[in-house]
Amino acid sequence: MNKMLKDAGTQSVIWSGFGAFWAMYTLQEWLAIFGLLIGLISGLVNMYAKCQEGKVRDNAERRAEEMHKLKMEQLKRGLRDDSTED
């Protein structure tokens, strides 16, 4: 449950649903607009977070590729592979 609430997309659905629920009872127009605004804002936050996660993932993949290239160069030069020692 705690992990579910950290996802901005899930929060968007929950808060939009909450606003829609109250819109059925009073001030329908304003609460519907409020619910749509919350959904829009949380959607933008989710998009920004996913973009940041993608940048982190790309950096990690780039670092792993660089480490692999360095390891391959060391092995081609005849240096020992330290990662296979017992």
Give the pLDDT of residue 86: 46
CB atoms within 10 A of CB 16: 20
Asked if the structure places residue 13 within a domain, the reply is yes
Report angle CA 47, 53, 54 to the nearest 5 degrees: 90
**9: amino acid identity, one letter:** G
Asked whether residue 84 is assigned to any structural domain, the reply reads: no
Provide the pLDDT for residue 53: 92
86 located within any domain: no
- Angle value at C-alpha 67, between 61 and 53, nearest 5 degrees: 20
Residue 83: the pLDDT is: 59
Give me the pLDDT at residue 33, please: 82
Number of domains in the chain: 1
User: Is residue 22 domain-resident?
Assistant: yes
Range of the domain at 31: 2-77
Question: What pLDDT does residue 65 have?
Answer: 95
Residue length, the chain? 86
Give me Rg for the CA atoms of the chain: 24
Mean pLDDT, the chain cut into blocks of 10 residues (86 residues total) = 64 79 71 85 90 93 94 82 56
**pLDDT confidence of residue 52:** 92
In a domain, 43, yes or no: yes
Distance CA 59, CA 53 (A): 10
Question: Is 85 within a domain?
Answer: no
Q: 83 in a domain, yes or no?
A: no
d(CA 32, CA 84): 61
